[in-house]
Structure 1
Amino acid sequence: MDTLAQLKSELDSEYQTTRKFFDLYPDDKNEYAPHEKSMKMKSLANHLADVFEWPNTMLKTSELDFGTAQHPTTSATKEDLLKKLDENYKSGIDALENAKEDDLNSTWALKHNGHELAKWTKYASIRHSLNQITHHRAQLGVYYRLNDIPLPGSYGPSADVQSF
């Protein structure tokens, strides 16, 4: 089984779908949040774009500490967000293309100020990041729906896109 080819294929598929969502990003709704405990739309979209870089970080390091890591810059416009997504996707896909199957076996940890939150093999950590893409894009879809922004299809047509 070519695990790296499967991960690359899935990352590419998620990128194509996420790009459709970002093509509809409303610059005038950056500060929108559906609830006081929810992220602002700008923060959510930027985080989603950042996750596409994670395979690179995961393959090149043994851990990430959110409490001490330098936080990525945030984009405030659709144009900047699309550019960030494209760059992060390229970084993630390049890392997978240059990896070897054995690279997926070592461990990688997620920490916050030294406290270990999770520890997986690098394969499992990359799988987790792919799940994060789906999760956060679904959140963004709810934000869009609540703002009457038509949703593109993700894994088939949406209620807003009739293609059958």
Structure 2
Amino acid sequence: MSRVQRLLKEMQQEAQTTHKMLERVPDDKYDWQPHPKSMTIRQLTTHISELPTWVTMVLTTDELDFANNPYTPINVNGTAELLDLFERSLANGESSLSQATDEQLEPMWTLRNGDQIYNKSTKGEFIRITFSQIVHHRAQLGVFLRLLNIPIPGSYGPSADELGF
């Protein structure tokens, strides 16, 4: 199995879990946040939903410089819109990755804010980092949902909610 095929398989597997988590967000909780320093559920879930498009960005650019490209999230106002955004982002990322070659994963890619470099790694490594970011933020969402007393779906096996604990 090629590196691209392994990344694509991982992307598809994680997408199933991410979809299950996103579909649990109630329409009336998008402005909720557990702490003033935390993102709102809208900000967090929009970020999660947009991250699959980073695969395309990484494959087609050499860097992302936040100083020249400020983040402007898409505004979602409900779970149906959120899931649509996620599915469109996923299709975008999967399409780009499925057309890539292992050789296209080798060039360096940089994430920066002006002169401050956050990460410099190969494109393949950064695509993996993108997947890790999705999992990281998905876990944050799980905490948010738990605090709202919303049952959590399992990620890599059944959750306590699914087991009846």
SS of 2:163's equivalent?
A: coil
**Structure 1 residues 108-117 or 19-28, which shifts more?**
108-117
Distance 2:76 2:121 in 1: 30
Amino acid at match of 2:158: P
Gaps of 5+ in 2: none
Aligned length: 163
Deviation of 1:71 after TM superposition, in Å, equals 2.2
In 1, distance between residues paired with 2:158 and 2:79? Answer: 23
Q: Partners of 1:72 and 1:36 in 2: how far apart?
A: 19
* Residues 65 and 114, structure 1, Cα contact 8 Å, conserved in 2: no
Aligned mates of 1:152, 1:89 — CA distance in 2 = 20
Residues 116, 20 of structure 1: CA spacing in aligned structure 2 closer, same or farther, 3 A cutoff? same
Q: Map Cα deviations across residues 36-61 of structure 1 (whole Å, 9 max, x no partner).
A: 11111110000001111111110000
Aligned counterparts of 2:31 and 2:67: Cα–Cα separation in 1: 24
In the TM superposition, residue 114 of structure 1 has moved relative to its aligned partner by: 4.7
Coordinate RMSD, CA, aligned = 1.3
Alignment of 1:38-49 (within 5 A): 38-49=38-49
Q: Please name the residue that 1:145 is paired with.
A: 146
Q: What whole-Å deviation, never above 9, does each CA across 1:9-46 have from its counterpart, x for those lacking one? A: 11001111111111111111111111111111110000
- How far did 1:72 drift? 3.5
Instruction: Please state how far the C-alpha of 1:162 moved relative to its aligned partner.
Output: 2.2
- 1:17 equivalenced with 2:36 (yes/no): no
TM (norm. structure 2) is 0.94
- Identity, % of aligned positions: 39
Q: Secondary structure at the match of 1:156?
A: coil
Shifted more, 23-32 versus 140-149: the winner is 23-32
Q: Secondary structure at the match of 1:118?
A: strand
TM-score (norm 1): 0.94
